[in-house]
A = this chain, B = another copy of it.
Amino acid sequence: MTAPRLDRGQRPDGADFPDCKRTFMEFNVLPGARAPYGIRNGAGPRRAVAGMVASTYVSGAESEGAYTLHMLTGAKGSGLPLLSHSEAHVTLYVLDGALELVLDGQRYRMGRGDSALVPAGTAYGFVMTRARTVLMAYATATALDSLLAGAPYDGFIPAEDDATGPADLLKGDFPGTTVLGALPEGTDFAEALTTLPETSVPYVLEAGMGERLLVADQLFTFVAGNRQTGDQYLSVMTQGPQGDMIPPHKHLLHDELFFCLDGAMRLKAGDELIELAPGDFCFVPRGTPHAYQFLRPFTNMIGWLQPGIFEPFFHTLGDPTELTRYPQTPAPFRFDRVIAKLDELDIVPLGRPPEAGA
């Protein structure tokens, strides 16, 4: 492993990427089309809704109607009433605070790192239970764009005089969403899963669990795969130590969303080098050359990939593991197995050829 360089030298000097501009790509402005851009923590276009601030990371305009990504930041008591989406599958990922999720008639406590999958047609809703709760809501189709289209808002946390809450959504009319009523009360809690279900059913997954694969010194953890999303998308976390840039490549048929959870990372996207801190995001649409590098001794990111056709890549490159953290002794980097199946996987290697089986 590369020795940690923690105190200096973490800024990109561009020497190893002479083709990169090292400029800043557009941040915090949605381009309205499938083009690379970034969002700094919580700083996408914002609206006030149901006691929360909804910051849009991806709207239907960027995904051509295929999916959306929002950050929801709220105070105690804010959240969503009981509702269901006709078409949208939703994955929730909690970043801070805690909430109570009602999902398909069960009640769950969720905290940092816990995730939930809500298949289309499933009744769900949640109430935030801490002074500050933050979660990411990824959804197929565009129902969440409509549901979260509250009043434009300049702040990053709810205003001190915000008196709205989930009840304010009961009277609205939202395309793709049926509002079912107030969130039921309850004191009995179901347990989160520690393994993924085999089919597309509603579930809450405990932080750090899910299907795991080892690739060199990195651990990949699926919190949702094709079996769970009805072949619609993948949601996968990648954690590892400070290390080298992975081999640059591009995909022709699927988009990749990068969201930094812990530590810091450098991203090559198109001809730019950017750095992401926790909460920061980069949209890498299909066709965009890219690569990433972890800059801190514990770096963790979550990605959403749509459509889910890239799942076989992970199983080709990685090996199943029971570990729940990256290993101190790296596993082999079996990019040779990817090269051998290039015609079956949606990946085009770029730049210097990676060493096989290193």
Residues of A within 8 A of B (CB): 4, 6-8, 24, 26-28, 38, 40-43, 73, 75-76, 96-98, 111-113, 130-132, 155-160, 206-209, 241, 262-264, 277-278, 296-298, 323-329
Contacts and interface: CB of A to CB of B under 8 A. Distances in A.
Given A97-B112, A159-B328, 15 more contacts: A4-B43, A6-B27, A6-B40, A7-B24, A7-B26, A7-B28, A41-B263, A41-B297, A76-B324, A96-B262, A111-B111, A113-B132, A131-B324, A131-B325, A277-B277
A135 B250 CA distance: 38
Contacts of A27: 6-7
B277 A264 contact: yes
Contacts of A42: 297-298
The A interface, classified by DSSP as helix, strand, loop or mixed, is loop
Contacts of A327: 160
The complex is assembled from copies of this chain, and their number is: 2
Contacts of A28: 6-7
B6 A207 contact: no
A40 B298 contact: no
Contacts of A6: 27-28, 40, 43
Contact of A208 (B24, B131, B156): B131
A159 B298 CA distance: 13
Nearest to A3: B154
Nearest to A4: B43
A264 B113 CA distance: 21
Contacts of A132: 113, 207-208, 324-325
Nearest to A263: B41
A31 to B, nearest CB: 14
Given A112-B97, A130-B207, A132-B207, A158 B325 contact: yes
28 contacts: A7-B27, A7-B40, A40-B296, A41-B263, A41-B298, A42-B297, A96-B112, A96-B113, A97-B113, A97-B207, A111-B111, A113-B130, A130-B206, A130-B207, A130-B208, A131-B207, A131-B208, A131-B324, A131-B325, A132-B207, A156-B297, A157-B298, A157-B326, A159-B328, A160-B327, A262-B278, A264-B277, A278-B278
